[in-house]
Amino acid sequence: MAASLRERLFDIAEHAELKDHLTLIELLRGEVHHTITPVASEYPTERYTCAVHAFDLTGDTTYVEIASFGFGRTFAGADFIQFLLDSNRLVECDPQYVRDGDLVIYFSDGRFRHVGKLLSRGRVVSKWGTGHLYEHDLMEVPSSYGDHVRFFRAPTPPESLDLFLDYAETRGFQFRRIA
């Protein structure tokens, strides 16, 4: 039996060399229909995660300074998203009422796996692992990202930074906040 699109994307994302991802995804189009297209990134993609992109933290100097501190263990990744979900810091929306820019969070067995931003026409833009930034249909993602999606209102960039600072405080960072 032939592997599904999502299984093939998993193989590319997890096993192929990064320099080959774009070519392999394009070659895959001849075998399995998909609408995945690369998106140019203003920032080097190896410097950020899907959450950093989805929460508009990519070029935020405060975020970059914290994420670069010490061993770089405090960054917008899976633990950050889990913190937001566990503390009910994100507003979930009914799929009927989603709007452009909302967050699309992917789950497998109830655990966070991936996040992207909703575009018009039900498309998503997301950063795949150590790979590139892509525009794709909702379920045109590697199989490891899970089969369940939930939608949340996207915080503004200043709200995203505040959420990250709250998370960083739980990791031992101390900030003097100006009211």
37-43: Cβ within 8 A, 24+ apart: 37/134, 37/135, 37/136, 38/132, 38/133, 38/134, 38/135, 39/125, 39/132, 39/133, 39/134, 39/135, 40/133, 41/132, 41/133
58, exposed or middle or buried, with CB in 10 Å at 0-12, 13-18, 19+?
buried
Please determine, for residue 72, whether its predicted confidence score (pLDDT) is greater than 90.
no
Q: Which residue has the tokens 């203003």?
A: 42
| pLDDT recorded at residue 82 | 96
| pLDDT recorded at residue 2 | 56
For the record, the structure tokens of 132 come out as: 């590139």
Please determine, for residue 175, whether its predicted confidence score (pLDDT) is greater than 90.
no
Overall average pLDDT of the 9-13 stretch? 95
Q: Going from the N-terminus, what domains does the chain have, and what CATH number goes with each?
A: 37-170 (3.90.1720)
Is the alpha carbon torsion for 20, 22, 24, 25 positive or negative?
positive
| pLDDT recorded at residue 43 | 92
Please determine, for residue 73, whether its predicted confidence score (pLDDT) is greater than 90.
no
47 vs 72, more confident: 47
DSSP one-letter code for 144: G
Q: Which of 26-35, 49-58, 59-68, 167-176 has the lowest mean pLDDT?
A: 167-176
Please determine, for residue 101, whether its predicted confidence score (pLDDT) is greater than 80.
yes
| pLDDT recorded at residue 130 | 83
Beta-carbon contacts of 82 under 8 Å, excluding residues fewer than 6 positions away, are 112
| pLDDT recorded at residue 67 | 92
